[in-house]
Amino acid sequence: MASVQSTPPQTSATTTTSKTPKTLKTSKTGNGALYGFLAYLIWGIFPLYFDALKPAGAWEVLSHRIVWTLAVCLIALATTGQLGFLVRLARNPRQLGATTIAGLLIAVNWTVYIQAVVSGHTVEAALGYFLNPLVTVALGVVVLGEKLRLLQWVAVAVGAIACVYLAIDYGRPPWISVILALSFASYGLMKKRIGGSLSAIESLTAESAVLTPIAVVVLIVLAARGDTTFASHGAVHTVLLLCAGIVTAVPLLLFAAAASRVPLVTIGLLQFITPVLQLLCGVVLLGEHMPAARWIGFAIVWVALALLTFDSVTANARSRRLARAAEGAAV
């Protein structure tokens, strides 16, 4: 009986010790999923923020967004003593060039997106972010020479069919959607080329710094023409423009925190929150018209995304099974 009684405490201690890392990992993953959800939630309700900035035009909003984003990032980096990266970046022409291209691409994306919202084309903008994963996959093939699995090819083909269908429905190519998807996918490609040499906030700081001189010139020209609204439409409007830096930096930092904590498949699934919310904002809250034929076009896109998601999830599960099998063989 004595030996039997001595066993439970030892087993309990062993179990507690072995479970602790798993518990910590689960907590880390849960926090990461929450950070990702919050990031995509903020991006999803951006149409409401940009619509609230009327009557400011797209160029004024973009310029304020760039200038105040740089201000927020510089304050954050100065507080943590990380401003020295700017010197290292200036001494690396190749990295500086890649960062400049990335900055220009995201500026194109921001300009088109803001213009779409303030001109009543939020739904078409949402379509661009639905198409983004498909365009990213296509760029991987064309630019990086990556090989696609069968379901990925099918998803890209279905996405192309959706674009043709929507072009017929619109009576023109859905240029807003196409430019948004291409610019953001190309931005992602440049970020991949830059690699992990810069943190999320360092990268945003560098891109904003490259664009700020242009933004300042735009604001000066707008002021000279009497087209600026910054100080002429009340305190609330001014504060909303000043907040452009915060609303740009916060979701990006949340996303960076999520990406370091959860699997890429989880990020891939969470990313659909943004265009869904943008679509709902456009149709339900901003009153944009969505005819039945256009819903069909969106449905075709969703089929393509479902195929792409299914392929990603199954491929990830297969990789994990193979990894576990390899670990078992090694033991």
In a domain, 5, yes or no: no
Mean pLDDT, the chain, rounded, equals 85
Q: What is the pLDDT of residues 117-127, one digit of tens each?
A: 999 999 999 99
In a domain, 220, yes or no: yes
Q: What is the pLDDT of residues 148-170, one digit of tens each?
A: 888 889 998 999 999 999 999 88
Please state the domain count of the chain: 1
What's the mean pLDDT in 43-68? 93
In a domain, 207, yes or no: yes
Flag whether pLDDT at 10 surpasses 60: no
In a domain, 209, yes or no: yes
In a domain, 230, yes or no: yes
In a domain, 322, yes or no: no
Report the pLDDT value the prediction gives residue 12, as an integer from 0 to 100.
Answer: 46
Of the pLDDT bands very low, low, confident and very high (cuts 50, 70, 90), residue 2 is very low
**Who's near 127: CB < 8 A, 6+ residues apart?**
166, 174, 176, 177, 275, 298, 301
Judge whether 152 and 308 are in contact, CB under 8 Å: yes
In a domain, 202, yes or no: yes
Which structural domain range is residue 196 located in? 36-315
pLDDT above 70 covers a percentage of the chain that reads 88
Report the pLDDT value the prediction gives residue 24, as an integer from 0 to 100.
Answer: 61
In a domain, 26, yes or no: no
